[in-house]
Homo-oligomer: A and B are copies of this chain.
Amino acid sequence: MYLENIYSPKDVKKLSVKELNDLSDEIRSALLEKLSKHGGHFGPNFGMVEATIALHYVFNSPKDKIVFDVSHQSYVHKMLTGRKDAFLNPAEYDKVSGYTEPQESKHDFFVIGHTSTSVSLASGLAKGRDLNGDNENIIAVIGDGSLSGGEAFEGLDYAAELGTNMIIIVNDNQMSIAENHGGLYKNLQALRESNGQCECNFFRAMGLDYMYVENGNDVEALIIAFSTVKDIQHPIVVHINTLKGKGYERAEQDKETYHWRVPFNIETGEPNIDYGQVEDYSEVTAQYLLNKIKEDSRVVAITSGTPTVMGFTPDRRLEAGKQFVDVGIAEEHAVALASGIAANGGKPVYGVYSTFIQRSYDQLSQDLCINNNPAVLLVFWGTLSGMNDVTHLCFFDIPLISNIPNIVYLAPTCKEEYLSMLEWSIRQNEHPVAIRVPATEVISCGEPVDTDYSELNRYKVTHRGSKVAILALGSFFGLGKSVLSLLKEKAGIDATLINPRYITGVDDKLMNELKIDHKLVITLEDGVLDGGFGEKIARYYGTSDMKVLNYGAKKEFVDRFELQELLLTNHLTDKQIVEDIKSLIP
């Protein structure tokens, strides 16, 4: 056993090539064991075993600095830099994050979770080094779909002018999360097929030096390549051809499923937990859109590299044909594309995670909203209860989207309302519309819902009481209902419950009416408070006698939090809210 004795990269350097090969096997076994029990990014790490070993064999981390793009492929790096126990000992599985994390190790330089950032960040390290007059190697590791994001291109364009040491490892595993898209990938293919020799070379065209390593899963070949470029005095790309998922046959075959994997049975590949046939909003969305696509040739569903968030499995993608577009990881383009399609009579529906729509603020504002084109955005997982890695928080879409003029941002509370809003948003031609897809289990409200949302900012009173009004937005409508009944039970207050529906504006008329027999309005939103929905209500009532209490999350970055704890800290349980109200309304 070699892995057990690796406490730092120094211990890697002591091994022979044969021993490094054995180490690769041990690493894969440990990964398979942990990931099959714990879940995590599978394919990206299996493909990067040899390259990571070779990096630490050749370079001197942490003096030499390695920056992993997305950093979901940094598990092997963690194993070799003092954190092996988090992969060998089940009790310590959760002691490391799924991404690089400077607070864990001096071998990590950035917290990274979104794609396409490594070259820019690493070129910053290189520029800092040059300003300091130092001489360490700076290495960026990019690939696995990350090259398609605009920031990666901007970084490569700049790196070419840097004129000093910088090594960009392009981990070409021929995949994104799903299959790769975009013209660039044909050039990578041509480079692979010509053993890196074809004249037309994207990286050279960007002004960068270039080297190709055909077998990116051969430790010895990689050591030779990395040794050649070590201490080089100009920027160079080392293009390595790797196999995503290498070493576990199912992952090699079904790369998309094994990109990120829930815990599973090693023998059968089946998930350990039976998720059964529970309906979720991805499924609801895909079923609706597939029907719509068949009905109307103008409808086109768009994804930026994450087709399954909107339920588009490979077979459904095939079924939708030209009416389904995966632009690759390129959120800026996705928004502009949607705007252009809408401008020419199409009906684009772009589905995206809350955390990734952040990558296209300017496209939302300039390409879409100034032009007021009727494209539809579906924002998934906009909630405190979704992903809990600090790089994947889904708290910020409300301030991001709702303070841009012209766009209508809707917050449905149940399945019927969601589908009705979606139907309306595709039908209408007046506004860009975003829908914050409920981040709850699929709920039927069992009540009729409106079919027309063209009269903007009209909230829906679902229960008319007095004294206290509860504005419970979208996924927090259920919390609003709990508060309503608990308030009755604990304080004898028959409050008013309102489904605001529109995140982007205030229902002046209703808010004004409430003044007659209400003393307190509370707002509940499933996201950060700052810049959000509740503050608009607070501003509205600023000069009146109405008291306003806003509930949502404090503005802070939290990492791997326990949801219940986060809710408690932010006073987001029905009991806490009722206590607050009782202290205000004696």
Contact = CB atoms under 8 A, between A and B. Distances in A.
Contacts of A131: 297-298, 300, 322-323, 341, 345-346
A4 interface: no
Given A337-B123, A358-B361, A182 B202 contact: no
Specify how many copies of this chain sit in the oligomer.
2
Interface in A342-357: 342-346, 348
Given A127-B340, A367-B121, A405-B555, A159 B132 contact: no
B539 A120 contact: no
A251 to B, nearest CB: 26
A532 B539 CA distance: 11
Contacts of A366: 112-114, 117, 358, 391
A183 B157 contact: yes
Interface string A520-542: 10000000111110111011011
A328 to B, nearest CB: 7
A275 interface: no
A183 B200 contact: no
Contact of A539 (B159, B200, B370, B535): B535
A207 interface: yes
A496 to B, nearest CB: 17
A340 B539 contact: no
A531 B399 contact: yes
B124 A338 contact: yes
Interface stretch (A147-155, A282-290, A412-420, A472-480): A147-155
A547 interface: yes
A124 B337 contact: yes
B300 A343 contact: no
A341 B158 CA distance: 14
A544 B81 CA distance: 53
A31 B541 CA distance: 52
Given A110-B343, A187-B205, A405-B555, A151 B181 contact: no
B531 A154 contact: no
Contact of A330 (B158, B199, B298, B539): B158
B127 A346 contact: yes
A94 interface: no
A344 B137 CA distance: 12
Nearest to A363: B151
A333 B151 contact: yes
A298 B127 CA distance: 10
Contact of A396 (B328, B365, B542): B365
Contacts of A297: 131-133
Given A199-B199, A344-B125, A120 B337 contact: yes
A208 interface: yes
Given A298-B131, A543-B548, A550-B539, A337 B396 contact: no
Nearest to A118: B336
B402 A530 contact: yes
A336 B539 contact: no
B543 A539 contact: no
A332 B370 CA distance: 21
Contacts of A535: 531, 535-536, 538-539
Contacts of A151: 150, 332-333, 336, 363
A121 B325 contact: no
B340 A557 contact: no
A400 interface: yes
A291 to B, nearest CB: 17
The 9 closest A-B pairs by CB, nearest first: A124-B340, A150-B150, A160-B183, A183-B207, A128-B344, A120-B336, A154-B333, A531-B531, A199-B199
28 contacts: A65-B344, A111-B371, A123-B340, A124-B336, A124-B338, A124-B339, A124-B344, A124-B346, A128-B340, A131-B323, A131-B341, A132-B298, A148-B154, A154-B332, A154-B333, A158-B182, A200-B204, A201-B205, A202-B202, A202-B206, A359-B361, A370-B390, A403-B528, A529-B539, A534-B539, A535-B535, A541-B542, A542-B549
